Amino acid sequence: MRLLLVRHGQSLYQALGAEAGEDPPLSPLGIVQAHRLGAYLGRYQRVDRILSSPLRRAHQTATIAAEYLGLPVAVDEDLREFEDRFTMSPPPARSPFDPDGAEAATPERLRFVERVSGALRRLLADPERDETILVAAHGGTVGAILSLLLGMPTARIWSANTAIHNLRWTGEFWVIRYLNRQDHLPRPLRSW
């Protein structure tokens, strides 16, 4: 099994701020990023299945990429982003060498990680299956998935817009092929 984890393209919220409203769509730049992602994946990656968060910016990114891949987009409600800023950050470690000695996570963070781990359990129901799954979600969601898979509860893994994180399950362990890859975007089209 191979996982391609992708954060959505730039949203109107990122471009305009709070005036973009609740559940904003992609900005014009985000639409271009999603098209470039889809074209890149269509040319260089085998993708067998696409899962998306139901939130507009992620679902719009997945739908645009799906046009290039000729695949439907399935929605998993548990791939939603965190509900508040308290949920975003993992608990701080007491030492950079002792992530297991982290302070307790907030109840909001625990609920968020539990929700995302539910999506991950469904996603990994058959890890020996030879397939590549594209997951279009959010920075917090992608970071939580990576933290769960890699056993790094105190890690905060940031994702650029439409950056690709590529992991492969060997049957015994996860191989990180790359993180935050943006080969599909020239520098002027990159955003955080």
Q: Looking at residue 92, which CATH number applies to its domain?
A: 3.40.50.1240
Note whether 143 and 156 are within 8 A (CB). yes
Instruction: State the pLDDT at residue 90.
Output: 77
Residue 192: inside a domain: no
* Owning domain of residue 110: 2-184
Residue 190: inside a domain: no
| pLDDT(147) > 80 | yes
Nearest to 86 by CA among 106, 116, 115: 106
If you average pLDDT over residues 8-23, what whole number do you get?
88
| pLDDT(43) > 70 | yes
Q: What is the mean pLDDT of the chain?
A: 92
Residue 191: inside a domain: no
Cα distances (Å, whole numbers) of residue 138 to 55, 62, 128, 173, 192: 9, 12, 26, 24, 12
Task: Tell me the helices (H) and strands (E) count for the chain, helix number first.
Answer: 6, 6
If you average pLDDT over residues 151-178, what whole number do you get?
93
Residue 49: inside a domain: yes
Instruction: State the pLDDT at residue 106.
Output: 84
Nearest to 139 by CA among 152, 120, 157, 119: 157
Note whether 127 and 1 are within 8 A (CB). yes
pLDDT tens digit sequence for 127-144: 899 999 999 999 999 999
Q: Considering only CA atoms, give the Rg of the chain.
A: 16
Tally of structural domains, the chain? 1
Residue 189: inside a domain: no
- Predicted TM-score of the model (pTM): 0.93
Query: Where does the pLDDT of residue 154 fall: very low under 50, low under 70, confident under 90, or very high at 90 and above?
Result: confident
Residue 50: inside a domain: yes
Percentage of the chain lying above the pLDDT 90 cut:
74
Q: How many other C-beta atoms lie within 10 A of the C-beta of residue 103? A: 11
Residue 135: inside a domain: yes
Among 107-111, 173-177, 187-191, name the one with the lowest average pLDDT. Answer: 107-111
Residue 97: inside a domain: yes
pLDDT tens digit sequence for 64-123: 999 999 999 999 999 999 877 655 677 777 777 665 666 778 888 899 999 999 999 999
Instruction: State the pLDDT at residue 61.
Output: 98
Comparison of pLDDT for 152 and 51, the residue scoring more: 51
Instruction: State the pLDDT at residue 156.
Output: 85
